[in-house]
Amino acid sequence: MTARQQATTWGRRLAALTWKELLQLTRDLPLLLFLLYSFSLSVLVSGAGITMQLTNAELLVHDADHSPSSRELIHRFQPPYFAFVGAIRDPREGLRHLDAGRAMLLLEIPPRFHEALMSGERTAVQLLVDTTNAPQGLSAAAYTVRIASLFGAERGLAAAGLSGAKASLPMVTSAHRVWFNPTQDERWFQSIAHVLRMTTIFAVLLPAAALVREKERGTVEQLLVSPLSPFQIMFAKVLAMSGVILLALSLALYGVLHPVFHVPMKGSTGLFFLLTALHVFTTAGFGLVAATLAKNQAQVGMMTLFVVGPMLLLSGITSPYESMPTWVQAVMTFSPLRYYIDITYGVMLKGAGLNVLWKSVGAMLLLGGTLFGFGMWRFRRQFQ
Amino acid sequence: MTSLTVSSPDLVVRVSGLVKRYKQHLAVDGLDFTVHRGEIYGLIGPDGAGKSSVMKALAGVLQYEGGSAEVFGTVVDSERAAEQVKPRIGFLPQGLGLNLYPELSVEENIDFFAKLRLVPEAELRERKGRLLAITRLDHFRGRLMKQLSGGMKQKLGLICTLIHEPELAILDEPTTGVDPVSRRDFWAILAEWQSVNGMTAIVSTAYMDEAARFHRLSFLSHGRVLASGTPAEVTALVPGLVVTFESTPQLEAVARLKRRYAQVESLGPSVHLFTLERDAGAAEAEIREVLGDLPLEHLHTNEPELEDVVVALLLKEQDGQAGVSGRSSQAAHSATISQFDGLAVQARELVRDFNSFRAVDRVSFDVQQGEIFGLLGANGAGKTTVIKMLTGIVPPTGGEGRVAGEDMRTAGGAIKERIGYMSQAFSLYLDLTVLENIRLFAGIYGLARRQSQQRMEWIVAMAGLSEYVHERTGRLPMGVRQRLALGCALVHSPRVLFLDEPTSGVDPIGRRRFWELLSRLAREEGVAILITTHYLSEAEHCDRLALMYAGRIVAEGTPADLKIKVEQEVGQLLEIAVERPGAALAQMVAAGFSGAALFGTKIHVLSRNPSRDEARLREVLARVGFSVGAVRLRMLSLEDVFVSRVMALERAAQKEGQV
């Protein structure tokens, strides 16, 4: 056989296997529906629903002063950040509400608050915060500090007889410009993050399940006695599943992210899809290794959960990568998702190209190649 | 009505009009039968005939839609009714050792089931000893269940089912996949429990050759009873003769005969057919007439076996659906004799170890092009591992082999291009259609579009798949799936075909049709076929056989050679019809007929000198008042061959152990 004939045969084999994977997927209606949901409705829901910003923090007030000043201060706690849930007379009652989870914040304004301010004395308000949900509690506290100090500063300046443009005391204000997300729309981050999550989950699960199913049913033996290399068997799966995932991704992109959340695509769309394919290939490596270790679909499901769980939590979409302990960061060097996050936000929001992202791309290539190679080695070994 | 049934103390089970539906699929379709006290009742039928559903309904673990399943006069239709009968029954579900605990030892398993059933300590000890002795498991009391062989697991399963001395044992395919020796042990326990304790048993099986073990039986097909009665009654349903002879060219002979007879098979070099003619001379004359100018040699006639009758009944049920006959004639002419020279498979001293366990131990054999070679043995004997080594799935630990002219250690790729393989599970993609499956394998073997179109047409015609091409494979009956799997294995016109237990779960007609395909492949296309099976009756189709036991080949030759050799060693088989066979058997054993065994209502014994032994046993039995009926000489079956070989090996191993 000439080299050319060999190449055609090789291609025919790969095409036959890839086509088979796609056919099988179309026959699995529940899985298809789940895939469709994950990249459409579920993106919509999480983009609209998940927010890390302080919203609707239930505020309870014990106003012992009932003065114009106290009322003005209370008035500064505004929706959507705060939700005023009521005033109480007895501070102990407030604590009970806090304990029962009916309120998150209890603001106490002491008697003589107005009087003290008017007479130029120092005075303080007390804020009790339920920080069971730490990020929310902490930002509520921070907001309160800002509100109180601004209020205090204004009153102080007013008392000194200075107000408005006449104020010429030395002060530092921060004037920030928001880049990459000018409207500060948090839905951008959340909806993209959700698409990344889904891409990763399916990239691990689909090829892994497809391979284990063949093991369970015994069809893999049929493939092994035919003139196919392990590479062809595994690569066909990844090829088919990557295609499907890219298709689903464009659904999310052009069906939800663009039209609903107006997420821009600043960089090259082609580059984004190419790098997504690379991410799917790399991540699929984990799935394939798991599939060579597992005996059945239940086992491979648990194993992939074991890999995907930490990957989703620690790669930087659930919490900032930079704020994690160094050892976690070190472990996460092996998470392709960690690089894919940089790539996605880079290409979509910052318009970055390969000249910026080459390090992440290189790391993914290396990781993907290693995993795929290891998977192939395991695949050959498991039957011997 | 019910009061009537209760009043009959002899009636243990009465099934009437039973209907069980799984969604749209009707599994049991108005089934009726009764079982009397002390009977061993058989439910025979292929997979999906409804056997398991009936048994589960009787054991009170399956709800049913219509009719009634009555056990000991109680209609088992609610959990409370089931609780009432459960103490009196023992149920062994289908599957090797599925009711056992793999991490417990043999003895712990037995003790657990005994405690569950509140068996008193003293009785437990006595019964356990007795059961372990009959099953020859007493040396393995401490061994964990998961380390037992398939046959041993199944025997242990039976012990655990019988430990509380149930009045009724419901055993669902207890012998499927079990080696012939363990199967004999299995039947020995049942026979003993039945004759000594008066136990009743309902046993299902897919092996037709076990039918003779039953007192009465029902043959099920598609949830209905096709035939029922004593084995003799069922056999008498379709009177006729089985004629075996040789004629050349065999394919041409078979083709001509097929136009006249519904059941024609080629068994190795001979032709086997079933005729409705009762007279041997007339049957021979008729066959000569059909054969015309073809020679006819070595003709002998036999009474039909149950399988012949059942196939005749099934054919009648299908009513001409079996479009087998038409096609075989066309290709018959292309057969020119012995153009297929050369060795297809050569195995030399193949060894395979899994850790410390030697699965295959110095196995050597040859398979010629155009030959059907059978590798027989129980589950775990090493058959599958041999095939896996030859097909390159598993590398051998030692030894060498050549497949399709190439060294299997160095030319794996070239070999894979030239072999076809069909595994136990018919590895097809069940979610793809018939055509998609064939196309996939055509693609895998790198066939070009035109070529693959041609092969596809050939496969569809060869395997008779034209009405199914666009059906999903998962919805097809087992017999059709099996032919599709064979077709997929043949897509690239391989020279050597490996078939690993290709007939499990297929009904008798499907099996016959499959074998017909195989013999045409071998005779017409010169394909070498290496096949493994644990249906020993099927092995008669092979040109040559090798029996495997514990990783070794213990006998090799043509089926006829093997039988003759064993006959010379251990004697011929006598079948004795006698009243009260259980008690008669005990008398015979006492009188020195040590190998005697109960087969339903008959006794089988091996004899080196049939005429002398017949006279002696007639005398022995007459002296104690038994009236002996007919004593017939029977051909040894391959199962007899297997059992006698293995027993000899076990005895040798024990002697060695004692020295």
Query: What is the per-residue pLDDT for A199?
Result: 92
Residues of A in contact with B391 (CB under 8 A): 225
Other beta carbons less than 10 A from residue B319's beta carbon:
7
Instruction: Please list the ranges in chain B whose pLDDT falls under 50.
Output: 1-7, 320-338
B491: nearest Cα among B526, B458, B522: B458
Examine residue A174 and state whether it is found in any structural domain, yes or no: no
Instruction: Please list the ranges in chain A whose pLDDT falls under 50.
Output: none
* CA pair distance B524, A153, nearest whole angstrom: 103
Q: A161 and A251 share a domain?
A: no
Examine residue A121 and state whether it is found in any structural domain, yes or no: yes
What count of CB pairs under 8 Å joins A to B?
Answer: 82
Task: Please tell me which of the candidates A20, A221, A227 has its beta carbon nearest to residue B427.
Answer: A221
**Full residue range of the structural domain in which residue A114 is found:** 57-166
DSSP A150-205: HHHHHHHHHHTT--GGG--S----------S-TT--HHHHHHHHHHHHHHHHHHHH
Examine residue A178 and state whether it is found in any structural domain, yes or no: no
Tell me the C-alpha to C-alpha distance, in Å, between residue B111 and each of B123, B193, B348.
Answer: 12, 19, 46
Q: How far is A301 from chain B (nearest CA, A)?
A: 21
What residue segments make up the domains of chain B, in order of their start? 2-234, 235-333, 343-557, 562-658
Q: A109 and A224 share a domain?
A: no
* CA pair distance B271, B560, nearest whole angstrom: 14
Residues of A in contact with B491 (CB under 8 A): none
Q: A267 and A350 share a domain?
A: yes
* CA pair distance B619, B610, nearest whole angstrom: 14
Q: How far is B396 from chain A (nearest CA, A)?
A: 9
Contact (Cβ atoms closer than 8 angstroms) between residue A107 and residue A98:
no
CB–CB contact B417 A227 (8 Å): yes
* CA pair distance B479, B485, nearest whole angstrom: 10
Note whether B441 contacts A: Cβ–Cβ < 8 A. Answer: yes
- Give me the CATH code for the B562-658 domain, please: 3.30.70
pLDDT tens, position by position, B193-247: 888 888 999 999 877 778 878 889 998 888 888 888 988 888 888 888 888 888 8
Q: A113 and A250 share a domain?
A: no
Residues of B in contact with A217 (CB under 8 A): 425, 427, 430
Residues linked to residue B372 through DSSP beta bridges, in sequence order: B529
Contact (Cβ atoms closer than 8 angstroms) between residue A256 and residue A191:
yes
Note whether B408 contacts A: Cβ–Cβ < 8 A. Answer: no
CB–CB contact A221 B423 (8 Å): yes
Which of B384, B431, B471, B497 is the best mutation test for A, with the most CBs of A within 10 A?
A: B431
**Is CATH 1.10.3470 what the domain over B235-333 is classified as, yes or no?**
no
Q: How far is B487 from chain A (nearest CA, A)?
A: 13
Task: Please tell me which of the candidates A10, A222, A227 has its beta carbon nearest to residue B427.
Answer: A222
Examine residue A8 and state whether it is found in any structural domain, yes or no: no
Question: What CATH number matches the domain at B2-234, 3.60.110.10, 1.20.120.80, 3.40.50.300, 3.40.50.12780?
Answer: 3.40.50.300
Q: A43 and A83 share a domain?
A: no
Examine residue A43 and state whether it is found in any structural domain, yes or no: yes
Q: A317 and A200 share a domain?
A: yes
Query: What is the per-residue pLDDT for B279?
Result: 86
Q: Which residues contact A319 (CB under 8 A, 6 or more apart)?
A: A313
Note whether B428 contacts A: Cβ–Cβ < 8 A. Answer: yes
Q: How far is A244 from chain B (nearest CA, A)?
A: 18
Query: Which amino acid is located at B320 in the chain?
Result: G
Task: Give the end of a domain, one of A110, A131, A166.
Answer: A166
Query: What is the per-residue pLDDT for B9?
Result: 67
* CA pair distance B512, B518, nearest whole angstrom: 10
Task: Give the end of a domain, one of A118, A138, A166.
Answer: A166
Which of A222, A224, A232, A380 is the best mutation test for B, with the most CBs of B within 10 A?
A: A222
pLDDT tens, position by position, B78-105: 888 888 888 889 999 887 777 889 889 9
Closest-CA residue of B relative to A222 is: B427
Tell me the C-alpha to C-alpha distance, in Å, between residue A255 and each of A184, A193, A266, B281, B653.
Answer: 22, 16, 17, 83, 74
CB–CB contact B432 A20 (8 Å): yes
Closest-CA residue of A relative to B353 is: A384
Q: A149 and A74 share a domain?
A: yes
Residues of B in contact with A218 (CB under 8 A): 423-425, 427
Examine residue A201 and state whether it is found in any structural domain, yes or no: yes
CB–CB contact B445 A217 (8 Å): no
Other beta carbons less than 10 A from residue B11's beta carbon:
18
Q: A149 and A104 share a domain?
A: yes
Q: A44 and A62 share a domain?
A: no
CB–CB contact A225 B424 (8 Å): no
Residues linked to residue B205 through DSSP beta bridges, in sequence order: B44
Q: How far is B385 from chain A (nearest CA, A)?
A: 11
Give the pair of three-digit tokens for residue A241.
Answer: 């599943």
Q: A41 and A62 share a domain?
A: no
SS3 state at B106: helix
What's the structural domain count of chain A? 2
Residues of A in contact with B436 (CB under 8 A): 20, 23
Residues of A at the B interface (Cβ-Cβ below 8 Å)? 8-10, 12-13, 15-17, 19-20, 23-24, 27-28, 217-228, 383-384
CB–CB contact A218 B432 (8 Å): no
* CA pair distance A212, A290, nearest whole angstrom: 9
Query: Which amino acid is located at A304 in the chain?
Result: T
CB–CB contact A224 B392 (8 Å): yes
Q: Would B235-333 and B562-658 be classified into the same CATH topology?
A: yes
Q: A310 and A286 share a domain?
A: yes
Q: A279 and A338 share a domain?
A: yes
Superfamily of domain B343-557: P-loop containing nucleotide triphosphate hydrolases (3.40.50.300)
Q: How far is A18 from chain B (nearest CA, A)?
A: 10
Task: Please tell me which of the candidates A13, A19, A221 has its beta carbon nearest to residue B393.
Answer: A221
Note whether B423 contacts A: Cβ–Cβ < 8 A. Answer: yes
Q: Which CATH number fits the domain that encloses residue A125?
A: 3.40.1710.10
Examine residue A236 and state whether it is found in any structural domain, yes or no: yes
Chain centroid to Cα A266, Å, comes to 20
Task: Give the end of a domain, one of A103, A132, A166.
Answer: A166
CB–CB contact A19 B442 (8 Å): no
Query: What is the per-residue pLDDT for A250?
Result: 92
